[in-house]
Structure 1
């Protein structure tokens, strides 16, 4: 089994591995496989002067070639890389502070423009070696030998339900999951990938950076901010480079549909074969809108590729089949509330998340007894395979990895070999003996009134009663309309789900915290609600 350091050294040196674009779509930098190897060796030589194998190295970068160089420099020197969210203008995020203190880095890898961050990091962890990768002199270095059991990096969880935890990903985990992606996506050295997900996120690193290298292909990379400011630049890039594969969370597809209302540029999407949708709940309506909007521009609905994964499994767990398109199921809503998957024409529509991939075992078990569920019974998704990580940093005996299986904390069901993910175990709302999934209530609320902001809801229970916090669109002002909006939300939730909301809180846009992949942090929202921390929306 070849591991990533060896794979990089055997790639065609002159082939372009990565091309970076700015917010105007202009090429700003490129990196060949040979340049990546040479510069990574130089970083490894610098690290080896003061660090020991097994030390942690913090990676603090914008979306740039130096991140990838630093990552492979760590692999070459046998340091454990720890990618983190780069600081904002207002300072280091709380999650990043927690990661720095948890991993106790011996080195910080960054670029010279971030030198001002040094004193802040030193206040947290002392004086780690500080390396500006863009200033490292050329030096030779023979990569240290690694095995499949050697830790490659710590992928910290998003913190959507708890404090971030460092998932220990080994070299063996990486290649096992890369092979699953290669098989599922149908990749080879000609499969150009376009991506914009941040490198500190598993989708950005494992999918958009490491997968192209694993198969010897080329990646075209944008920054997350470029996508946020110009969603259609993503599709323009796919068209320009005739990309085989690109994707993102569900909200990214909705953002493109919304942007298309102002007109679609001259694009041709017929080369796009794998449009993966993962990292957050997949909405059937989103898939349909995207296909209808961009079908006239060459997009084939069969390219839509729903998938499911999590950091604890390195990245991917299940995925659609290439050229098959998404699967959906119409199910009885009442049966679903009782924890059963019963198909019923005209019922609630669920989007599938694909099939089990080679090299893994997936089961649905009862969350408490952990015994296998009967056919059609919703339970916890558990996984076993070479891609399942070695546990959490400083928490090797965590319950999530007990019994040789990864207990994902996600609820789902297998039907006709398709996995349907219905919610998170920790987020499940049990009201009068019926199961309700917060994303369903949130989806209903966001469509109950034009003032409700899409993607801006958090539903949870307090004292046995359901609470919904709803952000209001920035352009909408409320005064006498406040009762109208809350009334519309209450009525829609009652009609759709048969429950009365205990409280509806309307707040300004941007008050609900989200993870790097766009997931609402419901636990944080509940805590803020209990602390009285939400500023209720009022007219300016």
Structure 2
């Protein structure tokens, strides 16, 4: 499909903020100035100035290109979608997206923007919990319509009988004339609503402003475009902030081709992610830590066919950064051309648009676990025992024009560098509030913690819910405040404890670790006991001894004298639709008996004694 520039008379080149930006090796070309542009202009500008760009390639489950969507076609089809939307929905309305990683999602998203409405990130139909997720979003965001493919709408609408809005089939857009009238009232106004993944409970709707997305793209480009340009790849759901912004917006804004995989295909075959990177000479690809773990498990010892030397930017985020996982990835794939400098670690979330800090390369520092438990980040020395050390990954420095502080939750006092506290952030990329009727699970309306707070200067600060510290201006994130394990006034990171458990039970896995691999570990407190939930692909040999080894290691670290270990089959732990572990929901499944196990084991103080603790026997009842 082709069209002339006459189709774009609504985008006057003279009215567009443009800059000259690097593109390819020793090349430059005209592009949108993201710092001052509007979200609709990211697509319109690219289609107007560079209609020859191929845009996006959608891969099937074998990794072959199944469909291609050029930016030229995307722009025109979005205008047709806007014509359909404007016929049924008034300007300024919210419209929920129901769609997977396909061209129709892109067309629907920009169709909503072009119609002067506000997209709501919505639901990917193939992911677990999609119906529950959609029903919550419909109730919370109060949209005028849902848009998606007919087959998806027909599958979901019967479960949403309480929704009184319209169900718009993107398939019907051909019946409508192109339309273009985006909202441009304020750059601080919401360009779209991004729902969080719901790690702690119900997903929350975050208004992402035109200013916030523009600045975030600009700051990403300062790092990503500092290396030779090339194609990007994503398997992350477009309904996820990292999938939408890095998979769609950044590809459009930077002028690079994008290769798109389905999230369900990645889960079924993690090796296909790296195989696509190798096959299509991908330069930029991103994922959470668990994606890198799954790739190692799928390909360790079987990666001779891969060439990863093309991979220049490997963004990692969307949860705590595990040093051992990322170091293992480097170890396994360095023979395939992957370099430690390829990693781009960072910190961010939907409430910060995406990225709030970043670091080029993988910077790991060691700290004394005992001092961290007391609230101070004390760097380890060479003579310190390895068993007393925990390794953390730097998330880099905070974005310019933004600020980050650490607060003591008990005293509400701001903390100095090196002290561990709750992370608060502010700046143009940071949301000022949620939409809808958000309620924290497990808290009444009057008891839930304040998440947004205005200071004396009028700046809105957001409490992220994570704990961490600053050291030499760099951010180190420990984990979720609510997930912390507290023993005798000392605070322990459950992710750090999980890594220790993983190491303690390694010798009990089958020789073929792929068949008995540890999928995930959740550790939490319940009625004075420490509960350890270990999700494994298959039952371990000598299961009780494995559980005892894990429990003794936890006793050594934090002195816990009552530990219960559960071995769960694959899928036994609760996760968000995007794959993040849900600690509270996992604990609730155990509490309600809504689970099956390979085995469960309870250990008391006498079980946990080891030779080195026998001299302390008088302390153990």
The TM tier, using the shorter chain, reads over 0.9
1:29-85 Cα deviation digits (max 9, x unpaired): 111221111111111111111212232212111210110111111111222212233
Deviation for aligned residue 1:482: 4.2
Deviation for aligned residue 1:223: 1.1
Q: Are 2:595 and 1:534 aligned?
A: yes
Asked whether the equivalents of residues 189 and 217 of structure 1 are also in contact (C-alpha less than 8 Å), the reply is: no
Which residue is equivalent to 1:156? Answer: 195
Q: 1:231 to 1:507 in 2, by over 3 A?
A: closer
Which residue is equivalent to 1:375? Answer: 417
TM-score, structure 1 as length reference? 0.92
- What is the CA–CA distance in structure 1 between the aligned matches of 2:127 and 2:214, rounded to whole Å? 36
Which residue is equivalent to 2:325? Answer: 286
Deviation for aligned residue 1:246: 0.8
Deviation for aligned residue 1:462: 1.7
Equivalences, count: 533
Which residue is equivalent to 1:221? Answer: 260
Deviation for aligned residue 1:477: 6.4
1:73 aligned to which of 107, 111, 125? 111
Deviation for aligned residue 1:237: 2.1
Which residue is equivalent to 2:468? Answer: 412
Which residue is equivalent to 1:425? Answer: 481
1:13 aligned to which of 51, 58, 68? 51
Q: Which moved more, 1:348-357 or 1:128-137?
A: 128-137
Deviation for aligned residue 1:358: 2.3
Q: Which has the larger radius of gyration?
A: 2
1:82 aligned to which of 79, 97, 120? 120
Which residue is equivalent to 1:401? Answer: 452
Asked whether the equivalents of residues 494 and 500 of structure 1 are also in contact (C-alpha less than 8 Å), the reply is: yes
Q: Which moved more, 1:65-74 or 1:241-250?
A: 241-250
Matches within 5 A, 1:446-461: 446-449=502-505, 450=508, 453-461=517-525
Q: Are 2:439 and 1:439 aligned?
A: no
- What is the CA–CA distance in structure 2 between the aligned matches of 1:467 and 1:533, rounded to whole Å? 15
Deviation for aligned residue 1:262: 4.9
Q: Are 2:68 and 1:30 aligned?
A: yes
Unaligned runs of 5+ residues in structure 2 are 1-35, 440-448, 455-459, 510-515, 601-621
1:145-167 Cα deviation digits (max 9, x unpaired): 32313322221111111211111
Unaligned runs of 5+ residues in structure 1 are none
Q: Are 2:585 and 1:524 aligned?
A: yes
TM-score, structure 2 as length reference? 0.81
- What is the CA–CA distance in structure 1 between the aligned matches of 2:286 and 2:168, rounded to whole Å? 34
- What is the CA–CA distance in structure 2 between the aligned matches of 1:154 and 1:501, rounded to whole Å? 44
- What is the CA–CA distance in structure 1 between the aligned matches of 2:108 and 2:39, rounded to whole Å? 14
Asked whether the equivalents of residues 249 and 280 of structure 1 are also in contact (C-alpha less than 8 Å), the reply is: yes
Q: Are 2:167 and 1:111 aligned?
A: no
1:182-214 Cα deviation digits (max 9, x unpaired): 123236993421111111111100111111112
Deviation for aligned residue 1:141: 1.0
1:84-109 Cα deviation digits (max 9, x unpaired): 33335998442332122212321111
Matches within 5 A, 1:346-361: 346=386, 347-361=389-403
Q: Are 2:354 and 1:315 aligned?
A: yes
Describe the SS at the equivalent of 2:256: coil
Describe the SS at the equivalent of 1:152: strand
1:264 aligned to which of 275, 290, 303? 303
- What is the CA–CA distance in structure 1 between the aligned matches of 2:167 and 2:134, rounded to whole Å? 18
2:532 aligned to which of 454, 458, 468? 468
Q: Are 2:100 and 1:58 aligned?
A: no
Asked whether the equivalents of residues 204 and 438 of structure 2 are also in contact (C-alpha less than 8 Å), the reply is: no
- What is the CA–CA distance in structure 1 between the aligned matches of 2:156 and 2:392, rounded to whole Å? 48
